[in-house]
Amino acid sequence: MVDPWALPEIDLAACTRCGQCVAQCPTQAVEMRAVGPVIVRPQDCTYCTLCEDVCPVGAIACAFEITWDVPTTG
Amino acid sequence: MPDRQHARVHALRDIQLFASHTPHVTLSESALACIAEVVTPRAYPAETLVVVEGELCEAAYFIIAGNVEVYRMSLQGRQQVLARLGPGQAFNTVPLFQGDGRNHASVIARTDVTLYALLREDFQHALYSCPDLALVILRDFADRLTHLTDLVEDLALRSVRGRLARFLLQQADGTAIAQKWTQDEMAAYLGTVRDMIGRSLRALTDERMIRLDRGRIVLLDRAALEAEAQN
């Protein structure tokens, strides 16, 4: 089952609040809030994985399911 | 047979090591009962280290529920994942036979896991008292040797793109444990770095072999991916 709203998972316990994910997000979907970085505009997130790439402590995970293309019916 | 013992024998029957399809090397009921008597159930939460590379080997483990990852780490912090294992699989049997008796690799719980631990001295005692256990262990070692030979072939002879194509096919065909993968995890599994995985995924996308959806890598062209996997 495709999850159309799959979003990067942010581990706030591991996050150092460095702000790299906020600065690098190409669509400004993530903002720094009191609790840490939050994806405030999920509809703008393209799941490009850049936030995961730039996080220096590995606190962001963009996981992929690997499947065959299944033609839809109807 | 007490209920607890019966439940353990039942769970041990699902361990691949003990449930061969080859009749001559299937573990007898008496051997299963002998092992069930000495195994200890252990539970580990996700992301807990079960075995630490270099430490004295305490036990062999059989996975009842959950998934673990077996890996080695270089001094520079680079990780090579050797295997991801799930219910029915066993790990840490090799160092029990070796002189120094140290764990060869670290094992981390990737999900909450339930294991049966078979302590070193109980394992060796079981081997002496149940010769058919020695046979199934030998068969398991042969399987492990094949897996590691394939891994060496992959690392030495295939390009990152080739390894990635093969990995994607294995995952999508369901021949490996089903789970989600980050690019870092794929890199550790395939003996490369995240940048190379990102570049290779983009290249396979450009060539219409795969499509990257939100949270999903969709395989589109089996023939092209199989050809790529030979490179």
Verify whether the Cβ–Cβ distance B214 to A6 is below 8 Å. yes
Q: Which of B172, B183, B184 sits opposite A68 (nearest CB)?
A: B172
| Interface pTM, i.e. ipTM | 0.81
Residue A74 clears pLDDT 50, i.e. is over it: no
B119/A contact by beta carbon, under 8 A:
no
A-B CB pairs within 8 A amount to 62
DSSP secondary structure string for all residues of B139-205: HHHHHHHHHHHHHHHHHHHS-HHHHHHHHHHHHHTT-S----B-HHHHHHHHTS-HHHHHHHHHHHH
B196 touches chain A (CB under 8 A): no
Q: Are B216 and A58 a contacting pair at CB < 8 A? A: no
- Residue B194 touches partner A, C-beta closer than 8 Å: yes
DSSP A1-41: ---TT---EE-TTT-----HHHHH-TT--EEEETTEEEES-
pLDDT for residue A71 is more than 70: no
- One pLDDT digit (tens) per residue for chain B, 231 residues: 667 777 888 788 777 777 654 555 567 788 888 888 889 999 999 999 999 999 999 999 999 999 999 999 887 777 888 888 988 888 998 888 887 789 989 999 999 999 999 998 898 888 888 888 888 888 888 888 898 898 888 888 889 999 999 999 999 998 666 688 999 989 988 989 899 999 999 999 999 999 998 899 999 999 999 999 987
pLDDT for res A3: 64
What is the C-alpha to C-alpha distance for residues A17 and A34, in angstroms, rounded to an integer? 10
Residue B46 near chain A (CB below 8 Å): no
State pLDDT tens for residues A27-55. Answer: 999 999 999 999 999 999 999 999 999 99
Task: Say yes or no: A19 contacts chain B, CB-CB below 8 A.
Answer: no
CB contact under 8 A, A49 and B213: no
Give all domains of chain B, ordered by start, each with its CATH number: 3-155 (2.60.120.10), 159-229 (1.10.10.10)
Q: Between β-strands A30-33 and A65-68, what pairing exists: parallel, antiparallel or unpaired?
A: unpaired
pLDDT digits (tens, 9 = 90+) for A1-19: 556 678 999 999 999 999 9
Between A2, A63, A68, which is nearest B182 by CB?
A63
Chain B contacts of A46, Cβ < 8 Å?
214
pLDDT of the residue at A61: 92
Question: Which of B194, B214, B218 is closest, CB to CB, to A67?
Answer: B218
Q: Which domains does chain A have, with CATH numbers?
A: 9-61 (3.30.70.20)
